[in-house]
Amino acid sequence: MKQRANWREKLRNGWYRVASIQPSVEAARLTEMGLAPGSRVWIATQAMPFGLIYLHTSDGALIVREEELKDLTLEPEYTP
Amino acid sequence: MSEVSVARILITGTPNSGKTTIFNRLTGLHQHTANFPGVTTSVSRGRIRWQKSSGHCLEAECLDLPGIYSLYPDTPDEREAVQCLRHALSLPGPQCVVFVADPTTPHRTVHLLLHLQEYIHIDLVVFNFWDVAEKEGISFNEKAFVRLFGPHLRYCFHNPRNHVHLRTIRNALASILEAKSHEPFRHPLLQATLQESPDTRIARSTALYRRVRDAANEIFPQKTSPFSSPINPKDKVFLHPFWGTLIFFGFLFLIFQAIFSWTNWPMRGIEWLFSRLSAALHTVLPPGPLTHLLADGVVQGLSGILVFVPQIAFLLFFLALMEESGYMARAVALMDRLMRRFGLSGRSVVPLLGGAACAVPSILATRSIPNPRQRLITILVIPLMSCSARLPVYTLLLGLLLPDSKVVGLDVRGLALMIMYLLGFCLAVGAAWLFSRMIPQGGKDYLIMSLPHLQRPLPLVVLSKTWVGLKAFVLGAGRIILFLSVILWVMMHFGPGDLGIGPKPSADPAQRLKESWAGYAGRLLEPAIRPIGGDWRIGIALVSSFAAREVFAGTVATLFPPPPGQPLRSHLSSLQSADGRRIFSPATCLALLVFYAIALQCLSTVATVHQETRSWRWPLIQFVIFMMSAWLAAAGIYRMADFWGLSV
Q: Could you tell me how many CB contacts below 8 A there are between chain A and chain B?
A: 147
Domain with residues B3-219, CATH architecture: 3-Layer(aba) Sandwich (3.40)
| ipTM of predicted complex | 0.86
Does A31 sit within 8 Å of B334, measured CB to CB?
no
Strand partners, A57: A60
Does B235 sit within 8 Å of A28, measured CB to CB?
no
B159/chain A closest Cα distance in angstroms: 19
List chain B residues with CB under 8 Å of A35. none
pLDDT score for B47: 92
CA distance B362 to B350: 8
Does B447 sit within 8 Å of A63, measured CB to CB?
yes
B213 shares contact with chain A (CB less than 8 Å): yes
Strand partners, A43: A14, A55
CA distance A21 to A32: 12
Q: Give the DSSP H/E element, type plus range, for residue B62.
A: strand B57-64
Cβ proximity of B626 and B384 under 8 Å: yes
List chain A residues with CB under 8 Å of B74. 25, 29
CA distance B447 to B272: 51
Residues 14-53 of B with CB under 8 A from A: none
Give exposure, B55-88, as e/b (b: 16+ Cβ within 10 Å).
eeeeebbbbbbbbbbbbbbbbbbbbbbbebbbeb
B106 shares contact with chain A (CB less than 8 Å): yes
pLDDT score for B443: 64
pLDDT score for B229: 65
A12/chain B closest Cα distance in angstroms: 13
Q: Of B202, B218, B229, which to mutate for an interface test with A (greatest number of A Cβ within 10 Å)? A: B202
Amino acid at B191: Q
pLDDT score for A21: 86
List chain A residues with CB under 8 Å of B202. 21, 23, 27-28, 31
Q: Which residues of A touch B (CB under 8 A)?
A: 13, 15, 21, 23-34, 36-39, 42, 44, 47-52, 54, 56-65, 68, 78, 80
CA distance B608 to B597: 19
B46: DSSP letter: E
pLDDT score for B586: 93
Does B450 sit within 8 Å of A15, measured CB to CB?
no
Cβ proximity of B53 and B2 under 8 Å: no
**Where residue A14 sits, what CATH number does that domain have?**
2.30.30.90
Q: In sequence order, which ranges of B355-411 are alpha helices (DSSP H)?
A: 359-365, 372-381, 390-401
Cβ proximity of B67 and B38 under 8 Å: yes
Amino acid at B71: L
List chain A residues with CB under 8 Å of B447. 52, 63-65, 68
Least Cα distance to B15 among B59, B78, B76, B63 occurs for B78
What are the boundaries of each domain within chain B?
Answer: 3-219
Least Cα distance to B346 among B13, B33, B38, B31 occurs for B38
pLDDT score for A8: 39
pLDDT tens digits, one per residue of A23-74:
888 888 888 888 888 888 988 887 777 788 899 888 888 999 888 888 888 8
Burial label for B54, CB within 10 Å (0-12, 13-18, 19+), is exposed
pLDDT score for B193: 58
List chain B residues with CB under 8 Å of A39. 107, 209, 213
B193 shares contact with chain A (CB less than 8 Å): no
pLDDT score for B643: 92
List chain B residues with CB under 8 Å of A49. 239, 241, 244, 333-334, 336-337
Distances from the Cα of B93 to the Cαs of B3, B191, B272, B273, B394, in angstroms?
Answer: 10, 20, 58, 55, 53
Does B329 sit within 8 Å of A32, measured CB to CB?
no
Does B333 sit within 8 Å of A52, measured CB to CB?
yes
Number of domains in chain A: 1
Does A27 sit within 8 Å of B198, measured CB to CB?
yes
Residues 263-292 of B with CB under 8 A from A: none
Kindly give, in sequence order, each residue whose CB lies less than 8 Å from that of residue B520, ignoring residues fewer than 6 positions away.
B495, B496
Among B202, B227, B329, select the one facing A28 at the smallest CB separation. B202
pLDDT score for B425: 92
Cβ proximity of B41 and B77 under 8 Å: yes
CA distance B496 to B515: 8
Least Cα distance to A30 among A12, A6, A55, A50 occurs for A55
Half-sphere exposure of B16 (CA within 13 A, CB side): 24
Does A47 sit within 8 Å of B236, measured CB to CB?
yes
Kindly give, in sequence order, each residue whose CB lies less than 8 Å from that of residue A20, ignoring residues fewer than 6 positions away.
A37, A72, A73
List chain B residues with CB under 8 Å of A19. none
Query: Which stretches of chain B score pLDDT less than 70?
Result: 1-5, 162-164, 181-195, 223-229, 442-444, 502, 510, 547
pLDDT score for A7: 42
Position A11 pLDDT exceeds 80: no
A18/chain B closest Cα distance in angstroms: 11
Q: Nearest chain A residue to B454 by CA: give it.
A: A61
A35/chain B closest Cα distance in angstroms: 9
Cβ proximity of B148 and B215 under 8 Å: yes
Among A39, A49, A59, select the one facing B334 at the smallest CB separation. A49
List chain B residues with CB under 8 Å of A30. 448
Q: Nearest chain B residue to A36 by CA: give it.
A: B206
Does A28 sit within 8 Å of B449, measured CB to CB?
no
B455 shares contact with chain A (CB less than 8 Å): no
Helices then strands, each counted (H, E), chain A: 1, 6
Domain coverage including residue A35: 3-78
pLDDT score for B340: 84
pLDDT score for B4: 44
